[in-house]
Amino acid sequence: MDQLNEIKIIDFKTESGEIIPSINLTYQLFGKPIGKAPIILINHALTGNSNLTGKNGWWKDVVGNGKAINSKKLSIISFNIPGNGFCSNNFYTPNKFHLGDIANLFLQALEKLNIKKLHAITGGSIGGCLTWEIAAKKPDIAKFIIPVASDWKARDWMIANTYLQDRILNNSRYPVQDARIHAMTFYRSPESFSKRFDRTFNESKGIYNVESWLDHHGNKLNERFNLESYKMMNQLLRSTDITRGGEDFIKIASKINSEIHLICVDSDLFFLPDDDKKTYNLLSKSKKDVFYHEINSIHGHDAFLIETKQISNIFTKIFKRKK
């Protein structure tokens, strides 16, 4: 793991007007030093963190030396969302922040690092939602905006699932395990489950193999993820909305002075591909440089972590584009 760095943000003002006296924002840098190469900001997913590549990196097959996001040629930065539990016990009550506040926080951190322009911003799931939020707040920040398996707003399906997650996190005897078990059912797909387990039974445990697999993921997350972190990240996810200030989506998004590349998963049951298609069809009427890409997979939402060859090919094609 590359060195964990820290920036102290003083008197951070949320969009609701609350002043947070001090926030220790941590981040990691990969590849070339800042100022020596184009810079890519990668935003982590709900239970993720800044550790992108290397032995335990969550996107190590996409980011790294010679990979699609090539650390040999690029400067790559990833911040930890405060409260994600990766490196700090400074948790914040969920109702203090929405995802737009995190976007403002990251933009302040970039200013402190004297980073005025990014080559690209990307991320999957909530990391893609955050990509939208950053671009909406600073339309000239990057050449490429690449939200993956995400959306610019939380639809009713998202709100319903995060509501159920919140109920589990606040009422279950085993909150992290049970919330994770529930989440895995919409992070994957029925076809993915059928292909992997085919109703097979684990005789030694007396349960179906799909149940054993879900228990494993619940226990595994509980070993590394804090309850308060889960609550915080769940609240941020449901708060996604670049139009929360009342301005029309097209008016906001058409101001983004970047190529926008929407990457979706055709079997995603969490961020539905039809929503990205609607965004593409709507936005492409008023903005030329909007593009739609689709990952073909049976694995549902988590395909952005699983189908690394497909997503690498998409990134490679995007970065080779010439205006």
DSSP 218-243: HHHHHHH--HHHHHHHHHHHHT-BTT
Residue type, 113: L
Amino acid 83: pLDDT: 84
- CA–CA separation, 190 and 57 (whole Å): 27
Here the tokens at position 182 are: 């529930």
Residue type, 7: I
The answer to whether residue 88 scores a pLDDT higher than 80 is no
260 near 282, Cβ under 8 Å?
no
Domain residue spans of the chain:
4-154+240-319, 156-236
Helices (H), the chain: 99-112, 126-137, 156-171, 175-187, 190-197, 209-224, 227-238, 249-253, 273-283, 303-306, 308-319
Q: How confident is the model at residue 136 (pLDDT cuts 50, 70, 90)?
A: very high
- CA–CA separation, 5 and 252 (whole Å): 33
* Count of beta carbons in the 10 Å neighbourhood of residue 266: 13
Amino acid 1: pLDDT: 45
115 near 35, Cβ under 8 Å?
no
Class of domain 4-154+240-319: alpha beta
- CA–CA separation, 75 and 323 (whole Å): 22
Amino acid 236: pLDDT: 95
Amino acid 43: pLDDT: 98
Taking only the tens place, the pLDDT of each residue in 193-218 is: 999 999 999 999 999 999 999 999 99
Q: How confident is the model at residue 323 (pLDDT cuts 50, 70, 90)?
A: low
CATH of 156-236, one of 1.10.8.10, 1.10.1740.110, 1.10.760.10, 3.40.50.10470: 1.10.1740.110
Tell me if domain 4-154+240-319 and domain 156-236 are identical in fold: no
**Which pTM was predicted?**
0.96
Here the tokens at position 275 are: 């929503």
- CA–CA separation, 132 and 252 (whole Å): 10
For residue 19, count CB atoms less than 10 angstroms from its CB and return exposed for 0-12, middle for 13-18, buried for 19 or more: exposed
- CA–CA separation, 252 and 203 (whole Å): 56
Q: By percentage, how much of the chain surpasses pLDDT 90?
A: 89
**Cα separations (Å) of 48 from 124, 125, 225?**
10, 10, 10
